[in-house]
Chain A
Amino acid sequence: MTSETMLRTPATLTRQPLQVRSKRSASDCVVELELVHPDGAALPGWQPGAHIELHLPSGLSRQYSLCGNPDDNSSYRLGILNDPTSRGGSSYVHTGLAEDDNLEVSGPRNNFELVESPEYHFLAAGIGVTPMMPMLDEAERRGARWKLTYMGRSRSSMAFWQELAAKYPGKIDIHPDDEFGFPDLGALLGKPRDGVKVYACGPEGLLRALEGICAGWPAGTLHLERFAPKDPAAAMAPAISFRVKLALSGMELEVPPGRSIVEVAEEAGAPVIFSCMEGTCGTCETRILSGEADHRDSVLSDEEKAANEMMMICVSRSKSDVLELEL
């Protein structure tokens, strides 16, 4: 064994156990976590928009935006939604994790930096508020003009809104659907103009609507953070909804963004098997009968992907509106 044969460790592998200093309810479906170094040591620094990855005991990894103060290196603050469709990531945080527990963490990393601008319009829906919180402080520090439109199902479901409203009176526009209905996004943004950056985080439907509206704005106006898919390959492509026809089971199902074919098919009672949920073990390989797969696994070769005959339904999706599978 020589040093030449040793492979470099990618920075993404670096993990450290952090301790849960506090766990509090921040709304009827969001918990707020504060993580600290078990020895009280300083944590790596970060900028607004950054996220960390939690490596849960089940083997699942999940990314969550940092929503605390970047100048405070003693702890990381997170807001985590209890997602009813979770396969054990957020539900573990909600029900299994306790104060003083240790949790493996890697990061922080930032794919959502706040670029310089004289004016910002922040739009958040639901748990999408978390990356916005440090951005508001930063925009304020830069002396920029800004406002936040914060949408959600109801005030009881929306985390941190009182804190934000108290801190920045007049700049926070709270929009619960049960009080005001879904907002007119076009009217909210106004006419296309220069010198404003739009930052948004929320469900895929909102982000797609904003992409449509901002198509007429100067290039570079819109900055989006999508709720992170679980693997990097999937993060490269936008996740959109599609329909999947299960030929053997005689079902047709909608696969929404953020959910896998495996999850949707299993829930509907179709016979599926899967194990790694990351496109590596080959357990869920399924034959394609019609439609075009959007391959995101690490098993198929480029030729096999192009052949469009088989797919790994735990991570791969569809390029066509309908995908028919031998399932």
Chain B
Amino acid sequence: MTETNILPEVIEAPVSGYDAFSLETLQDVHTFDGEQREIAPVVYMEKYGYYAITRYAEIQKALRDWRTFSSTDRPFYAPSAFRPRTLILEDPPEHTASKAAVFKVFDAENLAKMSTYFKAEAERLIDNLLADGPAEINAYTDLSVKYVLKVFPDVLGLPEEGRELLLKFGDAVFNVFGPPSDLQAAKLASGTEAMEWVESNTARDVQADGGIGWQLYSMADEGKISEHTAQQILKSIFAAGFDTTTASIASMIRAFADNPGEWQKLRENPGLVDNAWEEAIRLYPASRYGGRWATKETVLGGVRIPEGAKILTMWLGAGRDPRQYDAPDEFHVDRDLKNAHLSFGFGIHTCAGNQVARLEARTLLRAMVERIEKIELTGEPRKTVNYQAFGHDHVPVRLTPAVSA
């Protein structure tokens, strides 16, 4: 790529009056982020002085080029107890060491152990829900939260008491990344309640032998990471591992309730379970955007980005980019995703827990497909209002058990 090839076609980023963080926007982020995506691959958000990358191809390209699009700073960044610098605000080589450590505790061997446990609990939960025939539930609290707060904290070795604080902690973490507002203040206040629980449960001396936390601190003993990093990674797992999966699973159930034909298709072909989950999080990602800064002037999608620009990567909107997906607002369990979406990010900062999240969700979905004949909405689903996270906290459904063979 040479400058002379690029220069004649380069434009300045269109200036947008878009407020990605207003309460109005947060009620319907797919519509509003989608409008920005259709303006240009990169827009300049005048109100805050930040750039936004809006389309699939350009976001993927930026996430791969970490030298130009660095993670060491981002829009709205200020040090916060809710957002340690470890992992998410690192570039290589620091990032590589932290990331290798977290991938190590989610390696194939640990996942295989988790798998057996997740499956047993998923089957038990659904059998209980359907013990007396059709059940009317809130798929968020009665299914998604119940399952996730059971299986993953168990694997981490956390006490039963106080687990719901993980959701408050996550909710605060995903609202740090945005401008000060009443919404942010309320979320941070709520998250503060959880802080003490998180601090005490990430401490070295409470980690069960052989558990995930113990494995991380053992890596510190081996000199692979510092003890501080071990604790920060564990905290990151607490921060990113609960709000996200509970939201995604609830959103997935909504997608099936909205599309009964897709549930039937999956029932007839359970081999599509993995793909159905990927399609659900393409449609409803748990995270709306990420942040980077430009270490040098660059051109992306024909748009100039100046050195030092702070950038939002708007991957929720990119999940419905019509340049990447046909009929992007539709939910098809057999959609050919061409091996990719951006809902776990992309490149070196790919979600560290993606394999665990996938295992949790696929295992639950498989248990559901085997046991549930029909999923019907019984009321209006409600989306969460949050800066960076996206999800549903109310998905009222009736589950009809399958007639067992």
Chain A residues engaging chain B, CB cutoff 8 angstroms: 1, 5-9, 13-16, 39, 56-60, 87-89, 91-92, 96, 104, 106, 266, 271-275, 278, 280-283, 285, 298-299, 310
Q: A272-B100, A298-B338 are in contact. Are A57 and B111 (CB under 8 A)?
A: yes
**Residue from A8, A39, A280, A283 with most neighbouring chain B CB atoms (10 Å):** A283
Q: Is the CB of B405 within 8 A of A273?
A: no
- Give per-residue flags for B83-99: 1 if the beta carbon is below 8 A from chain A beta carbons, else 0: 00000000001001101
Q: A7-B336, A15-B271, A88-B112 are in contact. Are A283 and B348 (CB under 8 A)?
A: yes
Nearest-CB residue, chain B, relative to A17 = B270
Q: Is the CB of A7 within 8 A of B335?
A: yes
Separation of A274 and B340 alpha carbons in the complex (Å)? 16
B119 to chain A, nearest CB (A): 8
Separation of A298 and B340 alpha carbons in the complex (Å)? 9
Q: Is the CB of B330 within 8 A of A273?
A: no
Subset of 25 A-B contacts with CB under 8 Å: A1-B259, A6-B265, A7-B335, A9-B334, A16-B271, A57-B359, A58-B109, A59-B355, A59-B358, A59-B359, A87-B108, A88-B109, A91-B109, A104-B271, A274-B103, A280-B340, A282-B64, A282-B346, A282-B347, A283-B99, A283-B347, A285-B64, A285-B347, A299-B340, A310-B64
Contact of B332 among A1, A39, A283 (CB under 8 A): A1
Q: Is the CB of B332 within 8 A of A6?
A: yes
A137 to chain B, nearest CB (A): 31
Q: Is the CB of B359 within 8 A of A281?
A: no
| Chain B residues with a Cβ closer than 8 Å to the other chain, count | 48
Q: A59-B358, A88-B109, A275-B354 are in contact. Are A282 and B63 (CB under 8 A)?
A: yes
Q: Is the CB of A5 within 8 A of B330?
A: yes
Q: Is the CB of B116 within 8 A of A57?
A: yes
Separation of A274 and B355 alpha carbons in the complex (Å)? 11
Number of CB contacts from chain A to chain B under 8 A: 112
Q: Is the CB of A14 within 8 A of B269?
A: yes
**Residue from B64, B259, B350 with most neighbouring chain A CB atoms (10 Å):** B350
Q: Is the CB of A281 within 8 A of B350?
A: yes
Q: Is the CB of B112 within 8 A of A92?
A: yes
Q: Is the CB of B108 within 8 A of A92?
A: yes
Nearest-CB residue, chain A, relative to B262 = A1
Nearest-CB residue, chain A, relative to B273 = A15
Nearest-CB residue, chain A, relative to B92 = A271
Separation of A271 and B103 alpha carbons in the complex (Å)? 12
- Give per-residue flags for B325-360: 1 if the beta carbon is below 8 A from chain A beta carbons, else 0: 011001110111011100010111010001100110
Contact of B348 among A5, A56, A285 (CB under 8 A): A285
Contact of B107 among A6, A9, A88, A89 (CB under 8 A): A88
Q: Is the CB of B330 within 8 A of A1?
A: yes
**Residue from A58, A88, A266 with most neighbouring chain B CB atoms (10 Å):** A58
Q: Is the CB of A9 within 8 A of B100?
A: no
Q: Is the CB of A5 within 8 A of B64?
A: no
Q: Is the CB of B346 within 8 A of A281?
A: yes
**B181 interface residue (CB < 8 Å to A):** no
B151 to chain A, nearest CB (A): 14
Separation of A5 and B265 alpha carbons in the complex (Å)? 14
> Which residues from chain B contact A8 at a C-beta distance below 8 Å?
334
Given contact pairs A14-B271, A281-B344, a sample of 19 additional A-B residue pairs in the complex whose CB atoms are under 8 Å apart: A1-B262, A7-B334, A7-B335, A7-B336, A13-B271, A16-B271, A57-B115, A58-B355, A59-B359, A88-B111, A89-B108, A92-B108, A271-B100, A275-B103, A275-B355, A280-B339, A282-B348, A298-B340, A299-B340
Q: Is the CB of B348 within 8 A of A106?
A: no
Separation of A285 and B359 alpha carbons in the complex (Å)? 24
**B25 interface residue (CB < 8 Å to A):** no
Interface residues of B in 90-135 (CB under 8 A from A): 93, 96-97, 99-100, 103, 107-109, 111-113, 115-116, 119
